[in-house]
Structure 1
Amino acid sequence: MKKILVALLVLIVLAAAGAGGVFMHFQNATTAPHAAADPAPKEFVVKKGASARSLGQQLQAQGFLDDPTVWRFHLWRRGSLNVKAGRFMLSPTASVAELANALEGQPLPEDVPFAMIEGWRLRDTDQVLAAQGLIKPGEYIAAASQPGRFAAPFPLPTRSLEGYLYPETYGIIADNFKVEAFIQRQIDTFRARFYDEHKDEIAKSGRSLHDIVVMASMLEREEPVPSQRALVAGILWKRVDKGFPLGVDATSRYELAEWNDRKAFLKRLRDNSDPWNSRTRAGLPPGPIGAPTVDSLLAALRPVKSDYWYYLHDAQKVLHPSRNAQEHEALRAKYNVY
């Protein structure tokens, strides 16, 4: 009987020791840094109504912890966790305890969409940003007129970043809007959408990146149908190479306060000294006339060769190319385009 009692006592001691070892294992696991291949902070979203306990598997699935059991143990030891719904930036190398503390903090502010429309000029973007109370009028233009303050893996123009600030919808934090950070995001988006994938093709094209951007900015305004822009690009590049005026009226609108101010536009067309008047001046205009999309950039990079030298659009904005001045004049009379 005595031997049985001794054996039971030994088993109890071993069980207690084992339980203590397990406890210490989990205790240590909650404070140990998590091993992660990429230590860069990542966004983690807590959905509305989610319980603290349910986050363990989500944290594991997104690479923030290896064992959700450790997460549950920490919650048991902690007693409670006041988790807030929202977006959090978490470190993949944080311990379980650090993750819990971070998720009790304030979520990231909710961003709001800012839609920059294709073809917009610096002044157009500046005007809308100012109207939304994000900047003081002229602040965006002033920052974009100092290209040396920004970084890119390609040469930036020296005068202005017109044409290099990619047009799309950006999520912004209204209470913490920094105009220079926003411009850098636009340059980075230009790089991601166009330059990185096509830099070798650009180098082999025989055109500089800047000339491609200038051409693309005209195509964005000249041709409403993206699939037709490469054909128009072929016509315009041919005129550039032969030293003929482009006749792109959008260039004469570039410096207008209001793009559709017809009276001011007609006055600019009659000004032969205007460097933006492409009816009378050969070659590309002095710079881009707005923000082109990747469709226009690719059209400028990959022009379609044809026999056409001219083109016009009818009242429905349908493209009508022509091979010579006689055909062009006949189309102008047919569609009443002057």
Structure 2
Amino acid sequence: MRKLILALVALFLLIIIGISGTALYEAHRFLNTPPEMPGREVTVIIEPGTTFDAVSRMLAEQNLVTDANYFAMYGKWEKAAGSIQAGEFVMNTSWTPSKVLDTLLRGKPIMYKLALREGLTWWETAAVIENTGYANATEIKDLVHDPELLDKYDIPFDSAEGFLFPDTYLLTRKESQDPRFIVELLLKTFWKNAEKVWPDGKPDAETLKKVVILASVVEKETGVPEERGTIAGVFAKRLERRMPLQADPTIIYGLGTAFDGNITRRHLEDSGNPYNTYRHGGLPPGPICSPGLDALLAAANPEDHDYLYFVSKGDGSHQFSTNLRQHNNAVRKYQLKR
């Protein structure tokens, strides 16, 4: 009887060893054998909040791993189940599970570029976002004028004009399809850069208004970085002396999308345009575009000089003058002869 019991125990142990050996072999083969050779690229989208088991099933369906259950166990063994990234990833069916998992944990998701140059109006910004395929311009318009959003980001105007900070942004697929995320990102970036303009903290509302409005006018008046401080100084001097700014870009902004590319005498004499700085003294009622950091710095710290006028030389730069006689001579030299 004792011999029979020992034989049964030995047989049971052999069965257990056989099963374990098979499992070890299957696990080894799973970890070291790519699903396909040669492989092919597959784009995988991991939505935020997706469970690791669900990700494992999706990877198996796309033949990026050979077994969903094994991959789920592998992730738990590596204590990675709660650490995978959300985003869009390019993988290959020739990869082993370890490379697939490493991509989910540390790989760079596909990023979509949104390039916004300095000097765009809010509707031009909305058009760029729409033309890039990220969001509808109407959705952007609604957000730009959303009172709750304006209050949230301490914007003292009835729109976010001037605060949609120009920069090159990299967005994930989900971010690029969320208009609120995009607008809030631009506003957050404005305040992040504002720390360089006001390192001691946010300015009061009146200072903020003046600087952003002036910076927007400076941004539209010149594309030459080294001139921004000088032009800001011209406008500061004119404001100090209660002279009209006489800035063409403000008139253009007031005309909005109706502007056809030509400023006429009728436009210059139109007092019904609140942005007509030929007819209305002081700064215009609001920003006329989104200024970049250099324009903001120039507006916050305008150069101290005696210039009151400037005229384009035709090459992007300007001739500055201290009096009207000099200015008229410069106009004849650089404008009338052309």
TM-score (norm 2): 0.65
Q: Indicate whether 1:139 and 2:134 are aligned.
A: no
In structure 1, list runs of 5 or more residues that go unmatched: 1-48, 50-78, 83-93
In structure 2, list runs of 5 or more residues that go unmatched: 1-38, 40-68, 85-99
**Aligned counterparts, 1:97-246, within 5 A:** 97-98=79-80, 102=84, 104=101, 110-149=110-149, 155-176=154-175, 177-195=177-195, 198-200=198-200, 203=203, 208-246=207-245
- d(CA) in 1 for partners of 2:282, 2:228: 19
- d(CA) in 2 for partners of 1:143, 1:265: 33
8 Å contact kept, 2:114–2:132:
no
Change (3 A) 1:80 1:287: same
Secondary structure of 1:186's counterpart equals helix
- d(CA) in 1 for partners of 2:258, 2:116: 16
Secondary structure of 2:194's counterpart equals helix
The residue aligned with 1:278 is 277
8 Å contact kept, 2:312–2:335:
no
- Deviations 1:229-259 (CA, angstroms, capped at 9, x unpaired): 1111111011112221001100011144559
Stretch moving more, 301-310 or 328-337? 328-337
Change (3 A) 1:120 1:259: farther
Change (3 A) 1:318 1:137: closer
8 Å contact kept, 1:233–1:304:
yes
Change (3 A) 1:221 1:134: same
Matched residues, percent identical? 27
Secondary structure of 1:200's counterpart equals coil
Secondary structure of 1:321's counterpart equals strand
What displacement does 1:281 show?
Answer: 1.4
**Aligned counterparts, 1:1-338, within 5 A:** 96-98=78-80, 102=84, 104=101, 110-149=110-149, 155-176=154-175, 177-195=177-195, 198-200=198-200, 203=203, 208-258=207-257, 261-263=260-262, 267-337=266-336
Stretch moving more, 286-295 or 99-108? 99-108
What displacement does 1:226 show?
Answer: 1.1
8 Å contact kept, 1:113–1:172:
yes
Runs of 4+ in 1 over 6 A off after TM superposition: none
- Deviations 1:294-331 (CA, angstroms, capped at 9, x unpaired): 10000001111111111111111221111111111111
Secondary structure of 1:262's counterpart equals coil
- d(CA) in 2 for partners of 1:228, 1:259: 30
Letter matched to residue 97 of structure 1: K
The residue aligned with 2:65 is none
Secondary structure of 2:79's counterpart equals helix
8 Å contact kept, 1:81–1:100:
no
Stretch moving more, 124-133 or 250-259? 250-259
- d(CA) in 1 for partners of 2:201, 2:309: 27
TM-score (norm 1): 0.65
- Deviations 1:100-145 (CA, angstroms, capped at 9, x unpaired): 8737496785221010111101100111222233222322111111
Secondary structure of 2:117's counterpart equals coil
What displacement does 1:264 show?
Answer: 6.1
- d(CA) in 1 for partners of 2:230, 2:258: 25
- Deviations 1:45-89 (CA, angstroms, capped at 9, x unpaired): xxxx9xxxxxxxxxxxxxxxxxxxxxxxxxxxxx9769xxxxxxx
Letter matched to residue 198 of structure 1: W
Letter matched to residue 179 of structure 2: V
- d(CA) in 2 for partners of 1:302, 1:101: 47
8 Å contact kept, 1:202–1:208:
no
Aligned-residue CA RMSD in angstroms? 3.4
Secondary structure of 2:291's counterpart equals coil
8 Å contact kept, 2:150–2:156:
no
Secondary structure of 1:336's counterpart equals helix
Secondary structure of 1:300's counterpart equals helix
- d(CA) in 1 for partners of 2:82, 2:158: 49
**How many residues are aligned here?**
250
